[in-house]
Chains A and B, each alone.
Chain A
């Protein structure tokens, strides 16, 4: 990512405070008239130091902390951490717990994709679709609330299992909700593939070839819309995905329209999966007892978040606190696709293009790089530590 804005150009800043993006990120688009000639991105406005904070909390506390990395795909973060810790501790998690984890993850995917559909439509000035998709999204939010008691941070996971069961009443409610959402999703697919003005705003915009997607390291629906066969649920199944296989959804278009189509078709796949999990829910316990101290070791945990591959690196020194946790979120992987592909399109396409990767800013910000013209400096961890010691000696 090139962080140096090119001088002597007409630069349109978007963010960190801008109506297009409700989260803070800063983009500079240099334009000639309406045509974009360059794009840079600057992140780091909501860096919260979570990875550092994790080192001072025990594993159970960290489950709550990491769930709060993202307010949209909260469950998937906790799942990634729990799966990794269970791998370190060699825990055999009951199949019912894994199935409930998977179910919650898929319900979360529904809510995330519907949320994205609304936001992306809003960026394109199609507020009617925005309002309708968010109205329907309430259905799945209500389901999640009915199951877990929370709309956003469900806290379904504990290390070694899950907290709550799905009884028959909840199962019926979920099935009913999914039926309703499926009919609505058919309608949305009709809209995004049939509406003339909408196609005018999405078709051929930000087209990215398969080679480019591979090169820029795109993940998730953004990569799949360019024809890349990449889905952690299929490539390395976790939780219950070995028992409930997922059919990959790809498109060859690579443009915004393809990203809409891929995400909406993924919704159908998710509905199918939710029904299948509910129909074949394994019996048994919800949790196994986990040790307080996790054996020393390192592991990698990968899960498929709604936005793409979510990667956790966990290192334990044998205590009740992690030695190091590293999180790489899918939004971060996809930025390069925006800044590289943006050139040559119209300024009016930029908000849709930005939202096309379904960015999640609070997920992103793992590194702060202060960028203030001449004062700009980049420090290694050692140098920063020395600087801190010297600073307080005075």
Chain B
């Protein structure tokens, strides 16, 4: 199953390291540009995410009073490292994952959650009131979307009879309409769950600037903030790849990857512009009342179809 890239290159260039970073910046630009155009704004130029990153990296990093310094500097690195490592287990750019083993889906999702946990710990590490509130909200949001999102991704996994990302991808590729039609609810939950995970509007209560400035990230400046942002970008591209490979008939070549992930990004951009920000209690309510229910229903449908052996 594994492709033949030497481990060090896989880690540094493709699919980990440089490739996901560049792709993440590129996708961030597309997202920002699409949202801007939908809001009747001009939007940033193509190199703006890179310029932001370089500017942040070059800026002075202020260490606030009262933080645990080790944690303060370590957390951004851990967050980015986890996000980058996840890239090794997913079919990035439609090519086979560098590493693959039974149950790597669980590992990938776990590593993505580590990024979120790092951010909230980073917020809780400071004395700042906005950060503390942001950290609480980040964790609250995580506990609300994580379960439905996981259930939504388990749907295709059960259908494929495997918890290995590459096998699910291959199954989805072989039976694209089976998953898309029977698990349309799962797709919706996964899509919206991804937006919750990435804290995109309307699920941006954890970093709602008009209430709590930048949430958990308020005290971060310079390098630490740059790394967290980069981690978010990498998370974006990984989440897009996962949803595309699970629900949209798999990704088997770079062109397919590009089209499918950009398609999802377009839908996400539209959703981002459509709604007012949800309060954190509304977010929790939405996920547990609707999201979890839909995801469970999805799983039941999958069980039923597997039992009867229906195929389109």
Contact = CB atoms under 8 A, between A and B. Distances in A.
Interface of A: 10-13, 18-20, 31, 33-34, 121-129, 131-132, 135, 195, 197-198, 200-201, 346-351
B173 interface: no
Contacts of A128: 38-39, 273-274
Instruction: Give the top 4 A-B pairs by smallest Cβ distance, nearest first.
Output: A125-B277, A126-B276, A20-B210, A197-B275
Given A19-B213, A127-B201, A128-B39, A201 B208 contact: no
14 contacts: A12-B129, A20-B211, A31-B133, A34-B281, A124-B210, A124-B277, A125-B205, A127-B273, A131-B39, A195-B276, A197-B202, A198-B275, A200-B282, A349-B279
Nearest to B208: A125
A11 B129 CA distance: 8
Contact of A347 (B39, B211, B276): B211
Interface in B183-220: 201-202, 204-205, 208-213
Given A201-B277, A348-B208, 5 more contacts: A124-B277, A125-B205, A348-B277, A348-B280, A349-B279
A376 B273 CA distance: 47
B289 interface: no
Given A19-B209, A201-B276, A201-B279, A125 B133 contact: no
A347 B136 CA distance: 13
Contact of A34 (B275, B278, B280): B280
A125 B282 contact: no
B171 interface: no
Contacts of A10: 129
B36 to A, nearest CB: 9
B130 interface: yes
Q: Name which of B130, B204, B208, B281 has the most chain A CB atoms within 10 A of its CB.
A: B208
A351 B277 contact: no
B217 to A, nearest CB: 13
B311 interface: no
A200 B276 CA distance: 9
Nearest to A123: B210
B279 A12 contact: no
Interface in B38-80: 38-41
B247 to A, nearest CB: 25
B279 A346 contact: yes
A197 B213 contact: no
A197 B275 CA distance: 6
Given A12-B133, A128-B39, A131-B39, A121 B276 contact: yes
Contacts of A121: 276
Given A131-B39, A348-B208, A198 B276 contact: yes
Contacts of A135: 40
A347 B210 CA distance: 11
B67 to A, nearest CB: 18
Contacts of B280: 34, 346, 348
Question: In which size bucket is the chain B interface?
Answer: 20 to 34
B139 to A, nearest CB: 13
Interface of B: 38-41, 129-130, 133, 136, 201-202, 204-205, 208-213, 273-282
A13 B213 CA distance: 11
A116 to B, nearest CB: 15
A127 B209 CA distance: 12
Q: Name which of B130, B202, B210, B282 has the most chain A CB atoms within 10 A of its CB.
A: B210
A112 to B, nearest CB: 20
A40 B136 CA distance: 24
A124 B276 contact: yes
A89 B273 CA distance: 55
A15 to B, nearest CB: 11
Q: Name which of B211, B274, B281 has the most chain A CB atoms within 10 A of its CB.
A: B211
A197 B276 contact: yes
A125 B129 contact: no
Nearest to A346: B279
Given A132-B40, A197-B202, A125 B281 contact: no
A206 to B, nearest CB: 14
Contact of A12 (B130, B209, B276, B277): B130
A18 B130 CA distance: 11
A228 B130 CA distance: 37
A350 to B, nearest CB: 7
A348 B279 contact: yes
Nearest to A19: B209
A350 B211 contact: yes
A19 B39 CA distance: 20
Contacts of B38: 128
Contacts of B275: 126, 195, 197-198
A201 B279 CA distance: 8
B210 A126 contact: no
Contacts of B136: 33
Contacts of B130: 12
Contacts of A11: 129
B143 to A, nearest CB: 15
Contacts of A347: 133, 211-212
A161 B136 CA distance: 59
A340 to B, nearest CB: 20
Contacts of A33: 136
A122 B210 contact: yes
A155 B210 CA distance: 34
B40 A125 contact: no
